Amino acid sequence: MITTWASGLARHRTGRLLAALTGIALAVALVAALGSFLTASKATMTQRAVRSVAVDWQVQVQPGADPRTVLSLVARTPGTRTALPVGFAHTSGFTARVQGSTQATGPGIALGLPDAYRTRFPDAVRTLAGSSTGVLLAQQTASNLHAAPGDTVGIQFPGAGLRQVKVDGVVDLPQADSLFQTVGAPSQSQPTAPPDNVVLLPATQFAALTRGATGVTTQIHTARDNTRLPSDPASAYSAVTGAAHNLEARSAGTALVGNNIGAALDSARQDALYAQILFLFLGVPGAVLAAALTAAVASAGGERRRQEQGLLRLRGLRPRQITALAGLEAALIGLAGGLAGLGIAALTGRLAFGTASFGASAGTWSVWYAVAFVLGVAVAAGAVLVPAVRDLRTVTVADTRKQEEAVRRTRSPWWLRYGLDFALLVGSWLVFRASSGNQYALVLAPEGVPSISVSYWAFLGPALLWIGAALLLWRLTLLALTHGRAALARLVRPLTATLAGTTAAVLARRRRPFARSVVLLALAASFAISTAVFNATYHQQAEVDARLTNGADVTVTEPPGAQVPPAAGAALKVSGVRHVEPLQHRFAYVGSDLQDLYGVRPDSVARATSLQDAYFAGGTADQLMRRLAERPDNLLVSVETVNDFQLSPGDTVNLRIQDARTRSLRTVPFHYAGIAKEFPTAPKDSFFVANAAYIARATGDDSVGAFLLDTGGTHQQQIAAHLRGQLGTRATVTDLTQTRGTVGTSLTSVDLAGLTRIELAFAVLLAAGAGGLVLALGLAERRRTFAIATVLGARPRHLRGMVLSEALLLAVAGLAGGALIGWALSEMLVRVLTGVFDPPPAALSIPGAYLALTGAAAVAAILAAALNGIRGSHRPAVEELRDL
């Protein structure tokens, strides 16, 4: 009997089985793909964090401790690969006599490096000019002293006097911020910038030059064996933090660990949680939608399944046997759909990432594949087996001979009577209000606490909105079909002619299945829209963040104190550069607070960089630039400064700026004209933006801090490389491509392009499936209606009009409802995930091409289902009624 039943299903219910199998396959594939991608992304974050650190540990030898003892202790610590002592000495200043003039700088730092240091820590120092060994000057120090390889430089050591050394090379210190950190101090007391003047000396020469000097300390720079770290950033962070604490405990107070690798992993674990958030926000709805699609497909054949059960019961089968047959159908759908879904996931990984595992390790991706397969089997059981068991208990044999609407209660569903949809929407609004407040943080990483958490209750807002909007659309569709039959008949009359009233009556009678189809299509469309808009907005803001940090396509930053006039920008207008914009960078005191001051040319600054209205408050970008041009003493102030000093528009702000002629601070009056929340190359907290010409007149100095170069968005790397060769060590050249890879938002470590390809591909499939599969099965189940209409005199064009009317109404209602729900979800997602965007977007980015593709796919699927239904309606009525 089992074999006969299975073969009968395969032969006579092929369409229904394939449709249900498709829904299962989509759910399994989406979960397997996104889960494997999430695991691979976390592993990638850990690897990137490890590679980004030049020196894993900087172990500070405490006063009175023996450096050799601490070095031996660090070397014996499990996991230590390399440990070398590095000397640190404070200097009073540097001097150099170059080409007949004497240059002097302020205090700085001298480092004593062992011979093997450059080999063991290759990323800590980068050679720019001259030799890679010997006495090496940092780039900024060389620029301040106008020194080059071969020149002699004097170093003033407190307690040891002036020492002369010959410069062998000029170098860059890529990780100077961590190299000169105050080990053991809380993060808020860390220096905001590394020292301006640095010299690197061989260890033996360092020891000789600093003999008798004060302020000399030793650090043990350590490279760790990170190959055995867990792939998850949070677990890896706990491992390296625990090892550092263990070393401090064993040192008995003689050593403090500057845990650079721990700091990098601390940031990575937040990125990992944001990746997990994306999985929940953007992945879980897709899996739920695929499961709902399967349930809708299964329910489309519910009437026929009840009739089959009634026939089996009349022939003497016991409920247990009927349940076994229903279980067989569920197993066929679940197993076949699950295997197909795993195949789709593997193919997706192969096409998008080059591997079926999406880059995850064998153990982790196989777990996700297993979880997805089990989920598919469970969905199949819930969609097929559970309704069959319920019908066995509640539906009699006599009931199976009645039509579906007669079997079901005419009373409205409980959620419709009690207004659950309105309650969910109100709840969504309340949660959204709370989760988008000024003090709200989605990811919580308390200072000094190894644990990190996500405020998952924020997910309630979008989830309640999605469900509540779907139920509201269901309510509105039912109301329209129940009370709008006259209007509906007028709408479909151009297609159905004399059958307009009949068509309206059929739709009203089948209002519940039709409403379910509309809601399913709307949810699929809203999933596609919200996912696409979020991803497009993220890419937009990642580009904005990179441009804010770099300033322009290519930026040439002059060293502090360099006297470079604006006219020097003419030499930078090489082939491919459309415009060169000078940007002043000074420092100014407001009260006792020292802040960055940027001088701009208001009429032309926007030609080299993008100024968005979201960067400012109190006016648009054009309006505020116009204010700076019309009144040169106007000043744009950061939000923090406005709040700290209680400023009102028009207030006088007296800034103390260094006068180039007297080298003393001079009070320069400005007028508060607006707020600059963000500005290219500026820090994220406190700064001023003013008219460059006014600053130059007031201080007698028009020197430029940076040149912003517009290349039209092309050939940025090539132009930057050309300028580096042209300028040498005199300036720092950065390009947008380079900056884009090193800075960004909290999701920089997540391959969002890969995530986008996965989600958007499945969104198109879900939209097409929701639009076409359910309609096709519904039309197939109504062949009896078409046959009876044919017997009563309906012509083929009338039947074609009936089918097309239903298809068009489904497409219009579903896609329109989906557009509204998707827009609301997109606004909520971007607002709730505000920590992802820095700065927040001024407007959502709408990927028009993708949304058009999704809509076209849904409409094409609906039309294909309608055409198939029309083809089936042409079958002779007598044969159709005999089969049914």
Give, in degrees to the nearest 5, the angle at Cα 560 between 554 and 561.
125
- Spatial contact of 112 and 203, defined as CB atoms under 8 Å apart: yes
Q: Rounded to an integer, what is the distance from CA 580 to the centroid of its chain? A: 32
CB half-sphere exposure, 648, CA atoms < 13 A: 0
pLDDT single digits (tens) 314-371 = 666 777 777 777 777 778 888 888 899 888 888 877 776 677 777 666 667 788 888 8
Strands 93-98 and 152-157: antiparallel
DSSP state of 175: T
Q: Rounded to an integer, what is the distance from CA 204 to the centroid of its chain? A: 49
Residue-wise burial string across 750-779, b where 16 or more C-beta atoms lie within 10 A, e elsewhere: bbbebbbbbbbbbbbbbbbbbbbbbbbbbb
pLDDT of residue 626: 92
Look at the block and give the residue holding tokens 């006495």: 135
Q: What are the residue ranges in the chain where pLDDT is below 50? A: 187-191, 403-409, 446-450, 744-749, 877-878, 880-884
List the one residue out of 141, 133, 155 whose CA is nearest residue 210.
Answer: 155
- Spatial contact of 610 and 581, defined as CB atoms under 8 Å apart: no
Residue-wise burial string across 693-724, b where 16 or more C-beta atoms lie within 10 A, e elsewhere: bbbbebbebbbbbbbbbbbeeebbeebbebbb
pLDDT of residue 167: 92
pLDDT of residue 191: 44
Six-digit token string for 73: 């202790």
Alpha-carbon gap, residue 811 to 845, rounded angstroms: 25
Alpha-carbon gap, residue 195 to 21, rounded angstroms: 65
pLDDT of residue 672: 93
pLDDT of residue 406: 44
Q: How far is CA 544 from CA 538, 551, 614, in A?
A: 10, 10, 11
pLDDT of residue 89: 93
